[in-house]
Amino acid sequence: MPRLRLPRSFTTPLHLTRSSWLYAGLVTLVLVMVPLVVASSRWLHATRIDLTADQLYTLTPGTRHIVDSLQRPLQLTLYFSEHATRDLPKLRSYEQRVNEMLQEMVARSHGRIRLRVIDPVPYSDDEAGAEGSGLIAANGGSNGERVFFGLAGSVMPPGEPHGAEDEAAAEKSLSIAFFDPSRETFLEYDIAKLLYELNQVRKPAIGVLGSLPVQGDLALGEQPWAVMQQLSQLFELKTLDATTLQHVDDQLKVLLLIHPKELPQAAQYAIDQYVMRGGHLVVFVDPDAELDATPFTPGISGLPAHASDLPRLFAAWGVEYQPGQVVLDRSRGLQIELAGSSLNHPAMLGLGDQELNRNDPVTASLQRINVSSIGHFDLARTARTRLIPLLQSSADAEQVPVQRVTDASSDPTSLLEGYKADNVHYVLAARLRGTFASAFPEKANEPGHRAHSAPDAEVVLIADTDVLSDRLWVEPQTMLGQAMVRIFANNGDFITNLVDNLSGSSALLSIRARSTSQRPFTRVQALRNVADQKFLQKEQELEKELADTRRRLDELQPAKGVRSSTVTPEQRREIEQFRQRQLAINKELRDVQHQLNAEIDALGLRVKVINIVLVPALVVLIGLLYGWRRTRHSRRRR
């Protein structure tokens, strides 16, 4: 019986079946994945992984604790002038960073925070709402428009329907006036602080203890100092009496100890135990408190009459402080008027950008702090604490005895006689962190005594009390019949920021400065520096030769009023030669600059080729090689 032979195309049914299954599987995968992706983006919360080097989009534990502890519904409104910033890419990029940070907090809150983003176009109700919320507009937008970029937060009454936009019923409102890109490292701290303050039911209580009349005397018609008036707007101030103080209430968020002079032992022990229990203390001491009205006679302790100290507690904390020494700084001396003449006072200092700690949220945004006859702090060799400067002197500072400063009150320039800089950055104000030991070990057997503080406790030390005085930062003036003050330094902001920072929860205090989202191309910058150095020497040589040529030309040129006919032919030829050389040097300088630009452009082109062409091509090549090897392996198995 003859055998039936099938066509060649039907001899490999297994191969066709496998291909058919492959295509069918791909179609099925597309049909399943597309609806799944759409459904998940609509109904499921995305799980994201932060792969940035500094975890920029991951909330710190302190922020998570604050968000999780919210008890009242909050409404946040981010005002950003979208149209006015179309030509400001840096600000637009930072807005995206702020928005993403807010979205992280909203997602964490599980409905307790509601966020709206509004573009306050000019002459609109939204613009009026932004201004009414305390936001500050910046100039420089497109077509001269004002730019709003801030956050308004409010506490909504319980039961407020979701999406309600009537903020008239808000119980409490606060705002961040403007998101400054230079403050990006404190972005999370600023927003978390806003949430924390909105969640508070009442003003935090602040204790004030000291020997200076900072609260004024209403019976004598004396108003509180301006810094106290500013603090009273945000905090509940409670004045403590040193003569009767036996215990510092733990309800006090911060205790301001101002100019402690001969404090009773009971008061010192009360302060000591307040710190051991985790209380936040700010100590203002001074080698020469200029607003101290006591007579110029040495005190019982042997200190200068207007000096203050806290020796027992400082010794227990490992702090060294010399109440008889004042820090001079001739390069930071304030200009004053004395006897009709203007002079710089080396004991009255204006501390600016270089002397303020830009990595601390208290001083990061401040521009200038004025102090007078200030002391300094240091750590003892046996100290187990850390001193983190807030204010420092420049290296052009010198410490001198208090008596020399008081003797020079009528002629401050005499302080510059024999001046010799110590080449030391003296610490004028600082955070003291660590585990503190009690200064009263003899009371270890008394009930409730604490011998040590918790780890990473904190005390703030400031070696000046004059920083609180009105004369160093505000000036009264009258405008349109109204009494007002002109602020010319940030002393008040410094104290307010400090108290505000310390009065927050431990979670808020744990939020440190973070990295910025701007990641420089370090390799590109290094190569750019190499290219700059490559042509720098040649450029300097040409510039020097050009200067010599111009000087020679000026010498040969006839002076004004002198007839050119007096110039000899030899001088004319020499002048023409120098002019030609001048043109040649200018051309060489342009060529050098063109070469430098060409090197930089070539570098940029190489980077682009590597990123856009080479790396994708390498990935494709690896994929093709992998596919070829699999195909070859499959054929061998058949």
CATH label of the domain that carries residue 158: 3.40.30.10
Domain range holding 193?
Answer: 61-199
At residue 562, the pLDDT reads: 45
At residue 368, the pLDDT reads: 94
At residue 163, the pLDDT reads: 47
Decide if pLDDT at 11 tops 50. no
Q: What percent of the chain has pLDDT over 70?
A: 75
The answer to whether residue 355 sits within a structural domain is no
Decide if pLDDT at 10 tops 90. no
Mean pLDDT of all residues in 39-54: 60
Residue 425: which pLDDT band, with cuts at 50, 70 and 90?
very high
Are 81 and 187 within one domain? yes
Are 70 and 193 within one domain? yes
- pTM of this prediction exceeds 0.75: no
At residue 12, the pLDDT reads: 46
Mean pLDDT of all residues in 165-193: 79
Mean pLDDT of all residues in 418-441: 95
Are 484 and 541 within one domain? no
Q: Which of 26-30, 160-164, 422-426 has the lowest mean pLDDT?
A: 160-164
| Under 8 Å between Cβ of 476 and 483 | yes
| Under 8 Å between Cβ of 518 and 54 | no
At residue 592, the pLDDT reads: 64
Mean pLDDT of all residues in 552-562: 57
Q: Which of 182-191, 231-240, 254-263, 612-621 has the lowest mean pLDDT?
A: 612-621
> In the predicted model, what is the mean pLDDT of the chain?
82
Q: Checking DSSP bridges between strand 457-462 and strand 280-284, what pairing results, if any?
A: parallel
The answer to whether residue 399 sits within a structural domain is no
Are 298 and 447 within one domain? yes
**What span, in angstroms and rounded, lies between the C-alpha atoms of 617 and 623?**
10
Mean pLDDT of all residues in 557-578: 61
Q: Could you say which of 167, 199, 231 is where a domain stops?
A: 199
Q: Which of 79-93, 559-573, 589-603 has the lowest mean pLDDT?
A: 559-573
Are 69 and 112 within one domain? yes
DSSP state of 220: G
Q: Which of 136-145, 268-277, 342-351, 597-606 has the lowest mean pLDDT?
A: 597-606
The answer to whether residue 407 sits within a structural domain is no
The answer to whether residue 338 sits within a structural domain is no
The answer to whether residue 439 sits within a structural domain is yes
Are 465 and 535 within one domain? no
Are 136 and 239 within one domain? no
Which has more confidence, 473 or 16? 473
**What span, in angstroms and rounded, lies between the C-alpha atoms of 599 and 531?**
7
Q: Could you say which of 158, 174, 199 is where a domain stops?
A: 199
Q: How many domains does the chain have?
A: 3
Which has more confidence, 227 or 51? 227
Q: Could you say which of 134, 168, 199 is where a domain stops?
A: 199
Are 486 and 548 within one domain? no
Q: 97-156, pLDDT tens digit by residue?
A: 999 999 999 999 989 999 999 999 988 999 999 999 999 998 888 778 899 999 999 998
Distance of CA 349 to CAs 369, 407, 418, 585, Å?
Answer: 8, 18, 19, 49
At residue 2, the pLDDT reads: 53
At residue 365, the pLDDT reads: 80
Which has more confidence, 606 or 600? 606
Are 228 and 248 within one domain? yes
Query: What phi-psi label fits residue 320: left (phi over 0), alpha (psi between -120 and 50 degrees) or beta?
Result: beta
At residue 439, the pLDDT reads: 96
The answer to whether residue 1 sits within a structural domain is no
Residue 386: which pLDDT band, with cuts at 50, 70 and 90?
very high
Decide if pLDDT at 321 tops 90. yes
At residue 189, the pLDDT reads: 84
Decide if pLDDT at 607 tops 80. no
Are 383 and 260 within one domain? yes
Decide if pLDDT at 538 tops 70. no
* Neighbouring C-beta atoms of residue 15, cutoff 10 Å: 10
At residue 200, the pLDDT reads: 83
Distance of CA 182 to CAs 165, 271, 464, 516, Å?
Answer: 32, 38, 29, 9
Mean pLDDT of all residues in 424-436: 96
Q: 241-300, pLDDT tens digit by residue?
A: 999 999 999 999 999 999 999 899 999 999 999 999 999 999 999 999 999 888 765 555
At residue 282, the pLDDT reads: 98
At residue 201, the pLDDT reads: 82
The three-state (H, E, C) secondary structure of 37-55, written as one string:
HHHHHHHCCCCCCCCCCCC
Beta strands in 81-138 (DSSP E): 113-118
Q: Which of 225-234, 376-385, 555-564 has the lowest mean pLDDT?
A: 555-564
At residue 449, the pLDDT reads: 95
| Under 8 Å between Cβ of 329 and 397 | yes
Radius of gyration of the chain (CA): 35
Which has more confidence, 563 or 279? 279
Burial of 130 (0-12, 13-18, 19+ CB in 10 A): buried
Nearest C-alpha neighbor of 188 from the set 59, 17, 337: 59
Mean pLDDT of all residues in 86-96: 89
Are 213 and 296 within one domain? yes
At residue 262, the pLDDT reads: 87
The answer to whether residue 537 sits within a structural domain is yes
The answer to whether residue 538 sits within a structural domain is yes
Are 178 and 289 within one domain? no
Decide if pLDDT at 559 tops 60. no
At residue 459, the pLDDT reads: 97
Decide if pLDDT at 164 tops 50. no
Mean pLDDT of all residues in 159-176: 64
Which has more confidence, 294 or 96? 96
Q: Which of 58-62, 133-137, 247-251, 572-576 has the lowest mean pLDDT?
A: 572-576
